[in-house]
Amino acid sequence: MSMSSSIPLPNRTYAPLQLDLSSANENGVFGQITVKNRRLSIVQPKDEDQVLDMYIGQEKDPYWCRVWPSSMALAEEIFCHPELVAHRKVCDLGAGLGLAGLAAAFAGAKEVVLLDQEPLALLCSLLSFHANFPGITTNVASFGELLGSSLDGLLAKASSEAPEAPKTPVLVTAELFDWTEDRDLSRYEFDTVLACDLLYMKSSPARLAKIAPQLLKK
């Protein structure tokens, strides 16, 4: 199930994202990884080079389109210590493909909010949730215009491939969010903030140290 409020996109040119959700043993984007003996389904662009070329041509960061070792390590930590997220409202800051948020959902989070500045990353993340949790409610329809094919068809395929149903319902939403920009954060009240692979510039540690506490419950 999806919610369909409109998400304003950055003033940028996006090529339609090719997301042919074939099964893992066919050469598609619907892949599976294992974290702490837990099988997770991940949706990512079929052609990474196409995404890299598109972003580099616009001098933007394209590196969200793969699963990095740091996100694997964070997901492992969540599975080893589910009390960090269980029954909590969790933020996945700079979510990328959303592996940390996905792990939080499996570990019992009551709500997961994916924050990232790249709408294509959020689209893939939300589709990954549908690929793991059949019948889950997200706002993936808000990003549907970025797809090169039918959203309904992709959701049906994703849900049919889901390895298992969630034990408890989890609410998942995605929001465009550039954590390097100043903004009013008073409306955010998370119990847990997850973040990894964000410190690319000299100014990043201080900025993250300022932002993260403001995202937590006051």
Burial of residue 103 (CB within 10 Å: 0-12, 13-18, 19+) is buried
The pLDDT of residue 25 is 33
Q: CB of 135 within 8 A of CB of 13?
A: no
The pLDDT of residue 102 is 95
Task: List, for the chain, all residue ranges whose pLDDT scores fall below the cut of 50.
Answer: 2-28
Domain 30-215 has CATH 3.40.50.150: yes
Give me the percent of the chain exceeding a pLDDT of 70: 66
The pLDDT of residue 182 is 82
The pLDDT of residue 153 is 67
Strands 30-35 and 38-43: antiparallel
Supply the pTM of this predicted model.
0.80
The pLDDT of residue 85 is 98
Would you kindly state where each structural domain of the chain is located, as residue ranges? 30-215
pLDDT digits (tens, 9 = 90+) for 136-185: 889 988 877 665 555 676 666 666 656 555 556 789 999 999 888 888 89
The pLDDT of residue 76 is 97
